[in-house]
Every structure is written in C-alpha cells, then in structure tokens.
Structure 1
Amino acid sequence: MPVLVVLDDTKTGYHRVYPFYLEWVEQWELKGELPVVTGKDNSALGNRVTSAFKRYKIPFVPYDLRHAWAVRNIAFHMPTTLSARMMAHSVEVHEKVYQRWITEDFEAQVVERLMQGDRPQSPS
C-alpha cells in the first residue's frame, strides 16, 4: 500500500500518511518522489507552495487538502487518534480544528450510511 513518509527533519517530525482514496494514487499518478521544495523556514515553504497553486490556477489553497483529508477519514471510520497521529498533532487539536469542516450534508451522509450498514437492531 502506498504511504507518504514525513521525515524527522520537518516541522511535524516523522510520521506516516496513507491515501484516502487509494485509487487516487493511480488516477493522479501520485507515486514517486516528492519534488524538492525549499524555504528558509516553514512559513517561506508554505508561501512557495501557495504561490505555485496560484500559478497553476488550482482553485483552492494547499491547506484545503489537509482539511479534506481529515474530514474524509471520518467517512472511512478512521479512529480520531489515528487521524490525529497521521497529521502529527494531538486528538484535542484535531477535534478543535476539524469539527468546523464537517458540513451538515456530510454528517447526514455518514449517518445514512451507518443506518444502512451492519448496526445493532432496535430492541423488540
């Protein structure tokens, strides 16, 4: 299974990140080495990536990818502790930051899927 390994010498330190959805790895040709991007610090690096998104007319900011990944993990029933670990922050930070990204439509979709799946039956 493909995995992104974030190295020790980064802001967040070593951790592993898995793709959700797996088929996107093939569809968008995401295998291989990441491009070398430099900056004097994390802020400068972030500014360079944001500038590249604008230059290529990508209709969202880079951090939207991180937020979308976090919310998508809910649809995959990923335990919050694992999502937080893969994002290199605490469960408290994870819940505080990403709760606001959960829309009512998304919430309704998750509940609907849960109700149609393998769930406890109501008592007689």
Structure 2
Amino acid sequence: MTIHDRGKMKWQSASFIPLVFEMTSEMFKDQAWTPKPLLDENQTEEFDLRIAYATEYNKAVKLTVWDEGFNHDITGRVHYIDPITHELRIEVKPGEFERVAYDSVVGVKVLK
C-alpha cells in the first residue's frame, strides 16, 4: 500500500486566506472611522489659551489630532506657532519636531 500525496494541490484551496485577512482588516479599519468633530468658538479659544500657556511656561501638551477619519495623540512641547501657515511645531523628542495643522487639532491637554 503506497501513500498517494497530492502535492501542492492540497494547499491551493487555502490560497485565498491572505486575501481574507486583508479584507477583514480593512473592514475593521472602516468601522473605526469617525467624522471630524465640530468645534465651537469657545472650544477653539480654550485650545488657544492652553497652547499659549504651555508655550509660555514650557509645559508639555497632549494634542488629539484628527487625521482623515482617525484620531491620534501627539505628546510634546510646543516649539513654535506659525501664524502664516496655521501650524504648530511640536518637539516630540529633543531635536525631533512634528508639524500639526491647527485645523486638525480636536483636543488639547496641558501636562504637568
């Protein structure tokens, strides 16, 4: 009695599995999408005051930034506020800066 192995044929039916993983990750990513929150004048003024305070006293801030449907946090010190391009330059690490558009900021917290 000999064993008849089908070789690669037995794995051909499982060739769709990477595609399934990719599709499910895209599905969960689409479910986490959120629309940009609408901020009123009081909230934006409060953000301005918090950013000015953190800049004046060299405090770290935690910015919640909305980027194409997803929120992420950036923590660092406010290095420069550019009034022309409406951007904040945040020093994330010593010597490493990140630019954040002021319109995309949806939350500001001053850290101690």
TM-score above 0.5, yes or no = no
- Structure with higher helix content: 1
Higher relative contact order (CA closer than 8 Å, sequence separation 6+) = 2
- How does the TM-score come out when normalised to structure 2? 0.26
TM-score (norm 1): 0.24
